[in-house]
Amino acid sequence: MVKHHEEKKAASSTKRTDLVFEGPEFVHYAKDHLWYIGIVLLAAGFFFLALKYQDYLTALVVLAATVAIFRLANLKPKSRTVRVGERGVTWGDQVLPYHQLKAFWLSENDGHAVVYLERLNFAPTIQFTLPEGKGRTVLEVLSAELPYHEHRGEPLSDRLGRLLRL
């Protein structure tokens, strides 16, 4: 245990420059008219099926989910500045020192490398997309301060969003 902390101190004692890059808040997928038609047909099928069985609560849930999906589909990601350095990670306006983070992992899908930062006490996971060529250096800086979870992959919510192209 002490050896691990000594290695961390030795690794963090070397002076490193902060890595700064711009990245979108989330991955945006282009949608065509067939995507919208498919969602409407799918929602209409579930809605009329719920009405047929006189399950009005499910019909309302289907309507609410359809409205939410259409609202999410039209969101455009804003750009955020990400700074990874000696003192922690800055994600937009939010500063996260390393002692407030548990671990990190990387997931790569559809040509996008995404870093996930696990936070303490059930706080939501922070994620950011890595630009081309920055992956290795960001991973080296983060792994000097945080444990890397090799067994973790893309979260289920992100998989579902990618499947629905949200």
Assess whether pLDDT exceeds 70 at residue 14: no
pLDDT above 70 covers a percentage of the chain that reads 90
Q: For residue 1, what pLDDT is reported? A: 47
Out of 2.30.31.10, 3.40.50.970, 2.30.29.30, 1.10.3720.10, select the CATH number for domain 2-27+78-163.
2.30.29.30
Q: Average model confidence (pLDDT) for the chain?
A: 86
Q: For residue 134, what pLDDT is reported? A: 80
The model's confidence at residue 9, banded by pLDDT at 50, 70 and 90, is low
Q: For residue 16, what pLDDT is reported? A: 65
Residue, of 91 and 45, whose pLDDT is higher? 45
Q: Where are the domains positioned within the chain? A: 2-27+78-163, 33-73
Assess whether pLDDT exceeds 50 at residue 61: yes
- Mind listing the pLDDT tens digit for each residue in 82-140? 999 888 999 888 999 999 999 999 988 877 788 999 999 888 888 888 888 787 888 88
- What DSSP letter does each residue of the chain carry, written as one string? -HHHHHHHHHHHHS--PPEEEEEESS------HHHHHHHHHHHHHHHHHHHHTT-HHHHHHHHHHHHHHHHHHT--PPEEEEEE-SSEEEETTEEEEGGGEEEEEEEEETTEEEEEEEESTTPPPEEEEEPTT-HHHHHHHHHHHS-B-SS--S-HHHHHHHHTT-
The model's confidence at residue 23, banded by pLDDT at 50, 70 and 90, is confident
Assess whether pLDDT exceeds 60 at residue 13: no
Q: Region 8-14: what's the mean pLDDT?
A: 53
